[in-house]
A = this chain, B = another copy of it.
Amino acid sequence: VISEREPGRIIAQDAELGFQRSQALVMIQVFTQQGRTTSTKQNLFDALATRLGALGIEGNGIFVGIVENTAADWSFGFGRAQYVEGDLSIPARQ
């Protein structure tokens, strides 16, 4: 789900990291099932910055936050809870 904001509608600080924020900001919220390792998350962050960099978005404009829930918290269609009802297996994680 992609949303754009007019200038001034995103107020972004550097979180005491000592750099200037770009005005070309991309904030990504990943809403997903729990279970990924820290290493997998680090790989995601790195891949997102690499791919956004190729589109001209600099590293000082990229935020990512992950929010996690459980298998019972998802319905992907038809009113079913696919993980709970066996339509989908819960992914093995590494």
**Residue-wise interface mask of A (38-67) relative to B, using a CB-CB cutoff of 8 A (1 in contact, 0 not):** 100110011111100000000111111111
Contact with B along A66-94 (1 / 0, CB 8 A): 11110011111111111011011000000
Instruction: Give the chain B neighbours of A24 by CB distance below 8 A.
Output: none
Q: Is the CB of B84 within 8 A of A38?
A: yes
A88-B17 in contact given A3-B9, A75-B64, A77-B61 (Cβ < 8 Å): yes
Question: A63 CA to B81 CA in the complex, in Å?
Answer: 10
Total interface residues in chain A, CB < 8 Å? 50
- Show the binding face of A for B, using Cβ within 8 Å: 1-3, 5, 9-11, 14-17, 19, 27, 29, 31, 38, 41-42, 45-50, 59-69, 72-82, 84-85, 87-88
